[in-house]
Amino acid sequence: MVNLLFRSFLVLALLFALLFGVGMAVLTFFEAPAWIAVVFALGVVLLQYLLGPWILQLVFKIEWRDIESVDPELAAFLQRVCAEKNIPRPRFGLVHDGNPNAFTFGHYPGDARLIITTGLLERLDQAERQAVVAHELGHIAHWDFVVMTVAATVPLLLYLLYRITLSSGRGSRRGGNSGYAAIVGLVAFVVYLISNYIALLLSRVREYYADQFSGEVTGNPEALSTALVKVAYGLAAAPKDKQEKPKDDTRMVAARPFGIFDPKAAQGLALASAATGAVSAESMESAMKWDLWNPWALFFELNSSHPLPAKRIRALERQSEAQGQPTRFSFRAEQPESYWDEFLVDLIVNYLPQLGLVLGLALGAVAFFSFEMPFAAAGLVLLLLAGGAWLKRQFSYRHQFEQPRTVRSLIEEVKVSAVRAIPCTIEGEVIGRGIPGLFYSEDLVLQDEGGFIVLDYRQPLRIFEFLFGWIKAEKLIGQRGKAMGWYRRSPNPYLEMRHLELDNGEKATSYNYPVAQFFVYAGMVLGALLIVVQFVV
């Protein structure tokens, strides 16, 4: 899953990024003029905009339905909002999926598609359904599809400017303009990096506006607040009559370019209700503590296209107050301590391999240039790099899996991050995929009595993850069992799976940990041997 640093781009972004990368390599090889590179880049953006919705419809298994036949009350609400706000009524689709979700995509408002899942219909009450659908209508009303497409062109063009000046600087060294070109290129690259963060900021702002739109048209911002709590923190349980329903089909995927929920929050946007069907102030406070107190939350939000759920809930609370409505909830818990010390420790531990590499290169340079000891130099680099990785893994991979935990109890933990994990075992039912609908998504979703969590399935080679997702993952859905692994947040909660044992005898094991450990130990041993060989020789 949060290998979600892959998931952050998902299918469409990856495809068009590959197209752009290969195209730029070809243009660079043939030394094409700058204007051709610009036209090519704009062409890629246009192609993504034109073909994106069509590709998404191929990826999703969408059943196009008349919304009146699915939920007459929701249909009446949709019709009213579209009429009042002069929004073209979107085409409606239904996806049979145990991870409730809702999203929109299209070229422009008149071409929009609004998709909801059976999980949303089963697990949200009518007010929450309407609030979520209104949020999606907000994206349509605000032309988000076009806005984000245009915003994406700015970093792309800045990157092109950087590449063009880099190339021209190399070609103009004899003319004395290389220094000027280098400065322009450096500025373009820095601004390119900044523009990426500005584009992410714009994406987060549009989410706030869609939330505000929902609160206005429903007259009930709190309905979206409770839905977000159920959604963002995985505090969900199966509906009481779930055993009477057929096994869900998971055919959903999130893609950033078209206003669909951020893949980094794919789990967080699987709308589902709490065990009692309602959200209490206590459960809301417990769920929001990590977002509001852990310094890692700020770091992750800067790199996310969606705001932290706790901040969205606070904004909706202020909207309720502005509309003269009493707020049932306000985060009142006092922060018991500072968490910056844990954050700094995590930060240092996270970069121990890099620190070891830098130290190894420094000592290796001394050994090589001052003492002419090449084997010792290589050994020092390898030993210190592997040693740093070993220290990081000792901190991040503890093996007390015998401790049973529930999703709700894990969500309450504040001292947890992608580096600082909690080893544990969770029992429950596999209800879907970690990235719902992606047919080769290897990650699974496990649900216990009070919530659900993504099981991050990792293997040393991605081909094995692909094969597991394509061939085996679907067979595990609907089965009960227990998962052992490391609970982490970054910022969404997930369990990095080590073993999955189901009641029907099926098993799944991640070999990423032992294989990585082998290479770490091998690196340390080889580094030490090189140093010894140097002195022996």
- What is the rounded distance in angstroms from the CA atom of residue 182 to the CA atom of residue 166? 6
| Per-residue pLDDT tens digits for 246-276 | 333 333 333 333 333 343 333 333 322 233 3
Mean pLDDT in residue range 201-228 = 88
> Would you state the pLDDT for residue 276?
36
Which is more confident, 322 or 30?
322
Are the CB atoms for 470 and 373 separated by under 8 Å?
Answer: no
> Would you state the pLDDT for residue 152?
67
Report the number of secondary-structure helices (H) and strands (E) in the chain.
20, 10
Residues 6+ apart with CB under 8 A from 436: 97, 99, 101, 117, 250, 251, 252, 253, 266, 270, 445
Domain assignments of the chain as residue spans, ordered by start: 1-326, 340-413+416-537
Which is more confident, 37 or 293?
293
> Would you state the pLDDT for residue 333?
79
Return the percentage of the chain with pLDDT > 70, whole number: 70
- Residue 382 confidence (pLDDT) above 80: yes
Mean pLDDT in residue range 363-378 = 93
- What is the rounded distance in angstroms from the CA atom of residue 215 to the CA atom of residue 500? 41
Give the residue from 387, 379, 405, 331 showing the smallest Cα distance to 529: 379
Bridge pairing between strands 480-489 and 422-433? antiparallel
| Per-residue pLDDT tens digits for 164-199 | 666 655 554 445 556 666 776 777 778 778 877 887
Alpha helix locations (H) across 370-496? 374-396, 407-411, 462-467, 473-476
| Per-residue pLDDT tens digits for 465-493 | 999 998 999 899 899 999 999 999 988 88
- Residue 45 confidence (pLDDT) above 50: yes
pLDDT interval class at 38 (50, 70, 90): low
Catalytic residue among 63, 68, 122, 136: 136
- What is the rounded distance in angstroms from the CA atom of residue 373 to the CA atom of residue 51? 58
**DSSP code per residue over 245-298:** SPPPP------GGGTPPPGGGTTTTS----TTSS--HHHHHHHHHHHHH-HHHH
Which is more confident, 3 or 457?
457
Are the CB atoms for 365 and 388 separated by under 8 Å?
Answer: no
pTM of the model: 0.73
Which is more confident, 374 or 145?
374
- Residue 462 confidence (pLDDT) above 60: yes
Are the CB atoms for 62 and 70 separated by under 8 Å?
Answer: no
CATH 3.40.640.10 correct for 340-413+416-537: no
* Whole-number CA gyration radius for the chain: 25
pLDDT interval class at 282 (50, 70, 90): confident
Residue 136 annotated as catalytic: yes
- Kindly report the number of other CB atoms within 10 A of residue 426's CB atom: 25
> Would you state the pLDDT for residue 69?
86
Return the percentage of the chain with pLDDT > 90, whole number: 38
- Residue 67 confidence (pLDDT) above 70: yes
- What sign for the dihedral angle of Cα 448, 423, 472, 116? positive
Mean pLDDT in residue range 498-518 = 96
Are the CB atoms for 77 and 133 separated by under 8 Å?
Answer: yes
Mean pLDDT in residue range 192-217 = 86
Are the CB atoms for 382 and 523 separated by under 8 Å?
Answer: yes
Question: What tokens appear for 155 in the block?
Answer: 């970093």
> Would you state the pLDDT for residue 520?
97
> Would you state the pLDDT for residue 64?
87
Which is more confident, 343 or 156?
343
> Would you state the pLDDT for residue 62?
78
